[in-house]
Amino acid sequence: MAFDLYDFIDNRGENVLSGWVQGAGLTGRDRGALNQKIDMLQMHGSDLPPKLLAGPINKQRHVYKLIIHADKMLRPMLCKGPFDMGAEFTFLLGAIERNFKLDHDPSEATANREILLSERKRRTPHERF
C-alpha cells in the first residue's frame, strides 16, 4: 500500500521541509539517504521497515522523527495523518541532531501540527529534493 506524504507550509507560504533542505547544506550523500528513507515511508509506511520512525518524541504525543545517518544526522519531524491516520504522513519540521541534541525543539513540530489541524490548507504534497 502506498501512503500519501505532505509537507507543512509556514506562515510565509513556504514549504518548511524544502526550505530546510536548501538551507541545511546537505551533501549528495545526505540527500540520497534522506530520499531513500522517505521513499520507504511512502511505499511501505512505518510497519514493514523496522524502526523507520522514532517516537513519539518525549512530551510531543504525535511527533515522530525519521532517522537518517548520513554525513549529517538528519531528523525531519513528522506526524501520522493528521487527517487520515492510516494513509498519510505530514512532514512538520526539518532538524539535525548534533551531540545527541536536535537543533530545533520538537514542540515547534507540535505547534505546526496544531496549526494544520485548524487550517487544512497549510500543507502541500511532499516535494522531492
Residue 61 or residue 128: which is nearer to another protein going by CB?
A: 128
Cβ atoms of 9 and 124 closer than 8 Å: yes
> What residues are paired with 124 via a beta bridge?
7
67 CB neighbour count, 10 Å cutoff: 16
The yes or no reply on residue 117 touching another protein (CB under 8 A) is: no
Task: Please list every residue from 41 through 100 that binds another protein, using CB under 8 A.
Answer: 43-44, 48-52, 67-70
The yes or no reply on residue 3 touching another protein (CB under 8 A) is: no
Out of 5, 9, 17, 33, which residue is the one contacting another protein (CB under 8 A)? 33
What is the SS3 assignment for 77? Answer: strand
The yes or no reply on residue 32 touching another protein (CB under 8 A) is: yes
Stretch that binds another protein, among 7-15, 29-37, 85-93, 109-117 (CB under 8 A): 29-37
Min dist CB 64 to another protein, Å, is: 14
Residue 47 or residue 58: which is nearer to another protein going by CB?
A: 47
Cα→Cα distances 103→96, 98, 121, Å: 6, 7, 27
Dihedral sign for Cα atoms in the order 36, 37, 43, 44? positive
The yes or no reply on residue 111 touching another protein (CB under 8 A) is: no
**Which triple of cell numbers denotes residue 18?**
524544502
